[in-house]
Structure 1
Amino acid sequence: MTYVLTELSIQDFAIIDKISITFNEGLTVMTGETGAGKSIIIDAVQLLAGGRGSVEYVRHGTKKAEIEGLFILDSDTHHIYETAKHYGIDIQDGMVVLHRTMTSGGKSICRVNGKLVTLAILKEFGKHLIDIHSQHETQSLLDADNHIQLLDLYDEKQITKAKNEYMRLFEKLSRLQKRHKELSENEQEISQRFDLLKFQKNEIEQANLVPDEDEHLEEERSQLANFERIYSGLQDAYNALYGEQKGLDWLNMANHALQNNSDYDTFIAEKAEEMSNHYFLIEELMYALRNYTETLQYDPQRLNEIESRLNEISRLKKKYGATVNDILEYLGKIEEELEEITNKDSHLSKLEQQIDEMYHDAFLEAKQLHDLRKKAAQSLSEDIHKELKDLYLEKASFSVSFDSKEKAGEHIKLHRNGLDSIHFQISTNPGEPLKQLHKIASGGELSRIMLALKRIFAKHQGITSVIFDEVDTGVSGRIAQAIAEKIQQISSQSQVLCITHLPQVAAMSDTHKRIQKHEKNNRTSTIVEELSKDEKINELGRMITGSTLTDTAKNHATELLESASKSKKHIG
């Protein structure tokens, strides 16, 4: 399955005048001098995914900044389809276009596939398509509230079925508990509610409503209010058909003309029969018009009665429902609730029994869900230890911490996740206690841990594009090479866009783009170009030396590319 950001267009954004960048599958690396605009491109993508904007992003001297991204999905199993269906947005040919405009006046206009949406909705789409990981930004993987969802995704096939069954029971249990609370708490509120319902019941019953009464009355009112037009129309139609030299007379003449010659021609015989049938149908229609006209009577008193009745019904509609049928349905609910309040004790007893039974079933499902998560947590820990070993954190310890109450027989309060509240913990050095992810101090260690987690979860999260913004800062040597290999591994599961200063990472790229500043007409702008193999060697050489490109640096860059090619084959 292929989910990729195919094209990104940016106009009048910060120092960017107008650029359109095409992206491919795999690993795309973006390099360039500090201040060339690399991070500005990531900022644009972040805003496209629903990030917070600012008028400062609008290029000086322009009225608005525009960002647009085209995403291609070759499978309709992507989570984005559920989101699109929920918000009534059509996805055709597997294409999703996100568009955002920010004006110099501070307004933000968002669109998904051409449909105007709120920023919150754009963010809903963005979180399924783009995952930006930077050294200075708190990511979803660092947020303990997301850890239980990530664990469930890790063993989705096993856990989803149990989770869905638990949620079905939990929602039923929650509704029962809510109703029990409403009935058992605050006698004063219940008494007031009872009086209100009695008043409403009496008011509706005194109206003596009949099902569909409003529709019938409105139809009758329309007829009486337009009596003259209706009567005149019927009379005109009848008079056009009946009488000498009128419609029916001419049809009769045509009928006789065909009948008189039907013996001489089969076509005429056939049409004579048709004409005869039509004549009799029109004759019946004429009589029907006459008879209906004779039944019509204009009754101004009846019209006043209807108006008065509809006004009364309209008053009730404002309180109890859009139609008479809705009001009668509401009356039924009132009667049920009144009966429930009147016999509160018996209903409470019945509810308590139902709650106990439902709690027992839900607890068993929650326990099963907990056991599946425990098993998944063990497997996840083993996988992450392997990833950390590849990143030279072989002495690190990773654990999934469960804060769960699972003792049978006790009435433990269940929640939406069952019995479990979890968070990921890690210790990077022997003898150190396990700590939550966000409490890890070392930036270099955190980058590697995040890469290990991203490697595990990229395929499970179903993210279209994973973006790394200088996550390799502060590392070098063998760790830099390990990070490069890990990022390349992630790109085999999701499209990866990476801004880097490490030649080891750049060498691993499937596509290498260089970002440069360009000055024209005393204005600075950013340009992006895709590098050929020779240009890539020169760029890597520049990254290695940090200054003048030398033959030694070019040779080193060539060796680095050859080594990266071998590593990619080994990884593949």
Structure 2
Amino acid sequence: MLMELSIQDFAIIDKISITFSDGLTVLTGETGAGKSIIIDAVQLLAGGRGSVEYVRHGTKKAEIEGLFSIDDADHTIYRIGKDYGIDISDEMVVLNRAITSNGKSICRVNGKLVTLAILKEFGKTLIDIHSQHETQSLMDADNHIELLDLYDSTLITKTKEDYLYLYNQLANLKKRYKELSENEQEMAHRLDLLEFQLQELAQAELVPGEDEKLEEERSQLANFERIYNGLHDAYDALYGDQRGIEWLNRAQLALQDNSNYDSFISDKAEELSNHYFLIEELTFDIRNYIDTLQFDPQRLNEIEARLNEINRLKKKYGSSVNDIIEYMGKIEEEVEEITNKDSHLKKLEEQIRELEEDAYLEAKQLHDIRTKAAKALTSDIQKELNGLYLEKASFSVAFDTKVTGTHEIGVNNENIRLHKNGFDYVHFLISTNPGEPLKEISKTASGGELSRIMLALKKIFAKHQGVTSVIFDEVDTGVSGRVAQSIAEKIHQISSESQVLCITHLPQVAAMADTHKFILKSEKDKRATTKVSELSNSEKIEELSRMITGAELTETAIVHAKELLNLASKFKTRE
């Protein structure tokens, strides 16, 4: 869960630090006080799109930092941390993001600098933000199949991975088949280019690792004088009258003469004797190597010429001789393939047919799993909708194989076309009134109904998504009365699966809070700023009363606020 959030110089916020608890935390306050700004900050922390407009006027940067606790040892974030070399210890993760006044974004995870894409990858496993805007995504049928797959992810994930592997292989084969079978003129030009490259590389007669060996030999010849003088000086220092070897010999003889009188001297005499013979051998090796040294300026010129030729080829074909040889092998295969195009096309056709059959079988398995999941999801959503006073509503998951787009791969079997999700196109259908046919959600549901449908889905998916914090930003807009109470109860039920933070203007939702934070806009140094405070029980009653009546606080409103808190307490006891 999100344990602590620090925000500095962000929009109208100068500096605040908010501590959160588990369960349901509600944030209330007047319009414009900064409630949504706090959610914007959390969204940026999760990798959302930033803007220089967020930086408080007159400051150098806006900074947001969040401390999350992860009590699930199997949480996805541990795998992500391992993938990017980020240590996650003590079940804690710290996300940090700064936006400078010149528009640069600086991201860190547990103190390590990361890209925005990596921060987003961490963020999506920790935070799920649900806003009025996100409700509109429910109307986009392209998102429905992902929601269905999430519902039964345990079974679907592995099958989907197997299918995608085959699908990508099939796509590559289809692409190659198209390249070989179309545009004869372009293929002829391609063949001319490859044959020219192949001839150029063949004439070079490259040897694996040749560039590295030549560079080493060039270094030796170019520095011949330094190498020779260094070895010669070392040899002179060791061998000859009054040189190192002679003094070492004297030392070992001195110890050996007295080794019978002291065990320490005996041990050290033997040790020094071993070192003496090693150094003597090393001296002979130096001498022998000096004898092999020869400076050959002609050879140096040859090496320079050969390296120039290799470097010219590197600019065209690869960063090393080994890379160039590997490239040469690839173009040899391509030349052979183009030259014998007809036989290769026939072979590709056979491979495509086999892969189409295998991919279709995997897609069929995906379809069967989804069909079962759809029945279970329909039943679960129906129950949730009943609890949100949409008991007359009917929900269904529709499947079809309608082809849309241009990148699908055709399968002859039953004229079905494969795409990245198999051959299924999934649509959520709903009828909110009895006697009305099932239609697409976008053509049937009102704003208040959409909020309730999305809330039903969130209630179902909360335990499947694995996120530590679910955030609702005014999702209760457009509802009131008993519907508002049912939404409040549903949001609290979601908080039993994961921490929930909720911005609301409904007293029913606020009364259900385990923790109530009040957002207040005030003035400091003649500038607007935002403050956050946690309300006591008496302060909760006052705030609920204001939410019920508006600005004026009445006795009736206070009584009503106490009743709401009492009802909320009874509901929590029954859960």
**Into which bin does the TM-score normalised by the smaller protein fall?**
over 0.9
Alpha-carbon distance, 1:47 to partner:
2.8
Q: 1:420 aligns with which of 421, 424, 432?
A: 424
Q: 1:308 aligns with which of 296, 305, 309?
A: 305
Alpha-carbon distance, 1:60 to partner:
3.2
The residue that corresponds to 1:536 in the other structure is 540
Query: In the alignment, is the contact (CA less than 8 A) between 2:469 and 2:501 conserved in 1?
Result: yes
Alignment of structure 1 residues 349-368 onto 2, 5 Å = 349-368=346-365
Q: 2:496 aligns with which of 489, 492, 499?
A: 492
The residue that corresponds to 1:169 in the other structure is 166
Is 1:472 the counterpart of 2:464 in the alignment?
A: no
Query: In the alignment, is the contact (CA less than 8 A) between 2:135 and 2:450 conserved in 1?
Result: no
Alpha-carbon distance, 1:137 to partner:
4.7
Q: Structure 1's 348 and 486: CA in aligned 2 closer, same or farther, altered over 3 A?
A: same
Q: Structure 1's 121 and 407: CA in aligned 2 closer, same or farther, altered over 3 A?
A: closer
Partner Cα separation in structure 2 for residue 238 and residue 56 of structure 1: 72
Is 1:280 the counterpart of 2:284 in the alignment?
A: no
Alpha-carbon distance, 1:39 to partner:
1.9
The residue that corresponds to 2:406 in the other structure is none
Alpha-carbon distance, 1:87 to partner:
5.2
Q: 1:100 aligns with which of 81, 97, 101?
A: 97
Which stretch shifts more, 559-568 or 248-257?
Answer: 559-568
Q: Structure 1's 527 and 455: CA in aligned 2 closer, same or farther, altered over 3 A?
A: same
The residue that corresponds to 2:317 in the other structure is 320
Query: In the alignment, is the contact (CA less than 8 A) between 2:451 and 2:476 conserved in 1?
Result: yes
Partner Cα separation in structure 2 for residue 135 and residue 322 of structure 1: 52
The residue that corresponds to 2:520 in the other structure is 516
The Cα RMSD (Å) is: 2.2
Alpha-carbon distance, 1:229 to partner:
0.8
Alignment of structure 1 residues 127-142 onto 2, 5 Å = 127-138=124-135, 140-142=137-139
2:15 partner SS:
strand
The residue that corresponds to 2:60 in the other structure is 63
Query: In the alignment, is the contact (CA less than 8 A) between 1:154 and 1:380 conserved in 2?
Result: yes
Partner Cα separation in structure 1 for residue 107 and residue 262 of structure 2: 72
The residue that corresponds to 2:565 in the other structure is 561
User: Deviation per CA, 1:314-341, whole angstroms, max 9, x where unpaired?
Assistant: 1111112222122112222222222222
2:365 partner SS:
helix
1:410 partner SS:
helix
Alignment of structure 1 residues 261-280 onto 2, 5 Å = 261-280=258-277
Query: In the alignment, is the contact (CA less than 8 A) between 2:360 and 2:411 conserved in 1?
Result: no
Query: In the alignment, is the contact (CA less than 8 A) between 2:191 and 2:338 conserved in 1?
Result: yes
Alpha-carbon distance, 1:116 to partner:
4.1
The residue that corresponds to 2:234 in the other structure is 237
Alignment of structure 1 residues 326-341 onto 2, 5 Å = 326-341=323-338
2:261 partner SS:
coil
Alpha-carbon distance, 1:537 to partner:
2.5
Query: In the alignment, is the contact (CA less than 8 A) between 2:198 and 2:332 conserved in 1?
Result: yes
Partner Cα separation in structure 2 for residue 454 and residue 324 of structure 1: 57
Is 1:12 the counterpart of 2:9 in the alignment?
A: yes
Query: In the alignment, is the contact (CA less than 8 A) between 1:135 and 1:443 conserved in 2?
Result: no
Alignment of structure 1 residues 384-423 onto 2, 5 Å = 384-404=381-401, 409-423=413-427
Alpha-carbon distance, 1:352 to partner:
0.9
User: Deviation per CA, 1:370-412, whole angstroms, max 9, x where unpaired?
Assistant: 1111111111011101000000000111111212279983353
Q: Structure 1's 175 and 93: CA in aligned 2 closer, same or farther, altered over 3 A?
A: farther
Query: In the alignment, is the contact (CA less than 8 A) between 1:204 and 1:331 conserved in 2?
Result: yes
Partner Cα separation in structure 1 for residue 546 and residue 132 of structure 2: 24
Q: 1:205 aligns with which of 202, 205, 211?
A: 202
2:418 partner SS:
coil
Alignment of structure 1 residues 124-163 onto 2, 5 Å = 124-138=121-135, 140-163=137-160
2:414 partner SS:
coil
User: Deviation per CA, 1:349-378, whole angstroms, max 9, x where unpaired?
Assistant: 111111111111111111111111111111
The residue that corresponds to 2:434 in the other structure is 430
Is 1:77 the counterpart of 2:74 in the alignment?
A: yes
Q: 1:193 aligns with which of 185, 190, 194?
A: 190
User: Deviation per CA, 1:91-140, whole angstroms, max 9, x where unpaired?
Assistant: 44443333333344444444444444444444444333322222345554
Q: 2:33 aligns with which of 15, 33, 36?
A: 36
Query: In the alignment, is the contact (CA less than 8 A) between 1:440 and 1:446 conserved in 2?
Result: no
Is 1:377 the counterpart of 2:374 in the alignment?
A: yes
**Equivalent residue letter for 1:447:** S
User: Deviation per CA, 1:395-449, whole angstroms, max 9, x where unpaired?
Assistant: 1111112122799833532111111111222221123333333344522111111
Q: Structure 1's 237 and 100: CA in aligned 2 closer, same or farther, altered over 3 A?
A: same
Which stretch shifts more, 20-29 or 92-101?
Answer: 92-101
Unaligned regions of 5+ residues in structure 1, if any?
Answer: none
1:360 partner SS:
helix
User: Deviation per CA, 1:283-304, whole angstroms, max 9, x where unpaired?
Assistant: 1111111110011011111111
Partner Cα separation in structure 2 for residue 322 and residue 254 of structure 1: 55
Partner Cα separation in structure 1 for residue 425 and residue 93 of structure 2: 35
Partner Cα separation in structure 1 for residue 345 and residue 364 of structure 2: 28
Q: Structure 1's 177 and 171: CA in aligned 2 closer, same or farther, altered over 3 A?
A: same
Partner Cα separation in structure 2 for residue 78 and residue 436 of structure 1: 35
1:547 partner SS:
coil
The residue that corresponds to 2:249 in the other structure is 252
Query: In the alignment, is the contact (CA less than 8 A) between 2:432 and 2:445 conserved in 1?
Result: no
Query: In the alignment, is the contact (CA less than 8 A) between 1:133 and 1:139 conserved in 2?
Result: no
**Equivalent residue letter for 2:141:** A
Alpha-carbon distance, 1:503 to partner:
1.7
Partner Cα separation in structure 1 for residue 279 and residue 371 of structure 2: 81
Partner Cα separation in structure 1 for residue 103 and residue 218 of structure 2: 53
User: Deviation per CA, 1:217-264, whole angstroms, max 9, x where unpaired?
Assistant: 111111111111111111111101111111000011011111111222
The residue that corresponds to 1:216 in the other structure is 213
Partner Cα separation in structure 2 for residue 337 and residue 137 of structure 1: 49
Which stretch shifts more, 162-171 or 479-488?
Answer: 162-171
Is 1:482 the counterpart of 2:486 in the alignment?
A: yes
Partner Cα separation in structure 1 for residue 216 and residue 32 of structure 2: 73
Q: Structure 1's 54 and 165: CA in aligned 2 closer, same or farther, altered over 3 A?
A: closer
**Equivalent residue letter for 2:500:** V
Q: Structure 1's 407 and 399: CA in aligned 2 closer, same or farther, altered over 3 A?
A: farther
> Which TM-score applies when normalising by structure 2?
0.93
Alpha-carbon distance, 1:67 to partner:
2.1
1:525 partner SS:
strand
Query: In the alignment, is the contact (CA less than 8 A) between 2:231 and 2:286 conserved in 1?
Result: yes
Partner Cα separation in structure 1 for residue 441 and residue 400 of structure 2: 16
Query: In the alignment, is the contact (CA less than 8 A) between 1:132 and 1:467 conserved in 2?
Result: yes
Which stretch shifts more, 550-559 or 501-510?
Answer: 550-559
2:434 partner SS:
coil
